[in-house]
Structure 1
Amino acid sequence: MSAPATAAPSFEHLLERPDLVWMGQNTTHLEPPAEVLAALEESTRRREFQLYAPALGFERLRTQIVEDLGLTGADAWITDGAVGGLHHICTGLAGSVSQVVTSDPGWPWPARFAGLEGVPVTTLELYSAEQGYRVTAQQIAEVIEPRSLIYLIDPLNPLGSRYTRAELVAITDLARQTGSLVVHDCTYRHFASDHTLAAELYPEGTFTTYSFSKWLGLAGLRLGAVVAVPELLGRLTEVPSNPLGANIQAQRAAMAGLSVKEPWLARVRATNRTNQETVRLAVQRSGLGELVVFPSHGNFVAVDIAGSGWSADALCAAMLERNVFIRPGTYQSPRFGERFVKVSTSVPEEWGERFAAAWADLSTPASQA
């Protein structure tokens, strides 16, 4: 094998590689809309970085987010990235929930946040084609108890599956019957087809998370939101995690991005589809692995490499030697992480081609034996 099984270097070290292909973070790397850049420049010119923002975020931005989701009657709280909102949900509600129900594969941090507060965590496995690579209502029914907090990632990071409306109806019915809450992590919703919001079905008990890192590419500005009906959201905002407000320049950029959302999304989605197809063909031609979910409902795809002779960490290290950064499944799945790697696709098409060339250059250990 051409590379040792080592963890990826820190993001700080990766930033020192100017020619690196960034396909290891689910963020958009396309040239931003001119309106977004203008908003950032104007905010800088006015030295708004010297000011605190409103504690809950600019009213206009909060309204734009609720309108984007179509959740009439809901309110939005602007947070330091979607993860800032998730942290506050898991820690701020720790005393009132009995457990957190999460998944493997999934995103590990909400369970860790809750664990720090002593909240038990129940993890449901979903790496199964038979169940569509998503948690089933039956699995939840077997472990749910009164006052649970169900953390549902939809579309699912890292595999790209998404829940149907019927599946969400079954899950939210369970939540309602047990007095449980749902956190519907919809940070990849803008890339999905036929997506349903759990808050449409269970508004009184659903927190919806929202991100500007994925579809608009504001990852480094750290901006997101939590959306819920006012009575529910108030349980968080009575004592917000950041009473001095989220990044004021990021909020200006987000408002500008939402004002041109439709033409921008058309471009991003088209590029995402092209790159997903590029990755699919590269994997197919190489004989090294197979895509788990295609097309993915996120801005990424997962490649199952079980049986190839590669570990996920070693394969990602080999790609990094070729100046292509992708992510091993071990970051998001203790149980199945060695079986797959994740490749982000809302990137310049040139990067997709560079990924394909690097992937083709890999040889399985078996072929070298």
Structure 2
Amino acid sequence: MELGIGMFGDLQINAKGEIQSAQQRLQEIIEEIKLMDEVGLDFYGIGEHHRPDYAVSSPEIILAAAATVTKNIKLSSAVSVLSSSDPVKLYQNFATIDLISNGRAELMAGRGSFIESFPLFGYNLQDYDELYEEKLALLLKINKEPKLNWKGKFRPELVNQEVLPRAVNDNLKIWVAVGGTPESVERAGRLGLPVMFAIIGGQPIQFKPLFDYYKKVYQAYGHDMNKFEVGVHMHSLFGESNQEIADYYYPLYSAQMNRIGRSRGWAPYQRSQFDAGIDKNGALIIGDTNQSVDKILAMQETFGLTRFSAHMDVGGPSHAAMMKSIEIFGTQIAPKVRVALKK
């Protein structure tokens, strides 16, 4: 099982509502990725958002910068909002990262749980599902064919058009991110694409039927089980003491849940929800080394994971807290998980 970190580029917001500058946060992110590589984590993913509380609107630029200061870690989006992107340009950008990084780039495509990119780039939300279906099909075709002919509904036709540059091994690894919809799971299984499930609330065991469905569809369409890959993305932060890291993180985490929740009609986030999430049956992996190792191993055993992604910057923890969490993950948690999985 690969172990890595995902981020959205959350900006730190203080008690007065003052927002950290994007310039400062972007420089911190590069330092953090460099440390991930140094401590031996397997991959890094960065999301795409177009909101005032996030620093990153173009994952490709962050990943290109990270490619120049790292040596081994895989570099991915988490996610690229495919529905409001041009698949041609998206492939070109990630192929370029792949060339800079000597084959370490990956692309994770999603429909986007935030919708700001649709009006920003001139797309109609009424086409939400159709846009994703068409653009995913085109992206996969580009990934397989250097020269292509293609005609769709939402972008100009391509006639004997070469898409350059090409990735190191010609085609990129393309993951798809899914939430809780069977339709998304069925599509990924039918296409034989690796899947990253976002488990960010409730009890993870509730997702088991979706994992089983994905595997069933994947097999039914005759895909090679030796290439079967499935991961989870879970809100995480690691510290020396369970109580200490929980008390530090709760105000930041709850504030972000409430900022998002206000636009979605959620009830105010409570400490009881946070504590239930940290519990062994909950979806938050926030605690010390031993507690975190136990929960990560439980996720692997339950779902048959090939990848675990710790989403580590929700609510904008300080750079110091992030660096400490990364260090603990790479030097303490990851080695114990790897040893346990070899037994």
Using structure 2 for the length normalisation, give the TM-score.
Answer: 0.31
Using structure 1 for the length normalisation, give the TM-score.
Answer: 0.29
Higher RCO structure (Cα 8 Å, ≥6 apart): 1
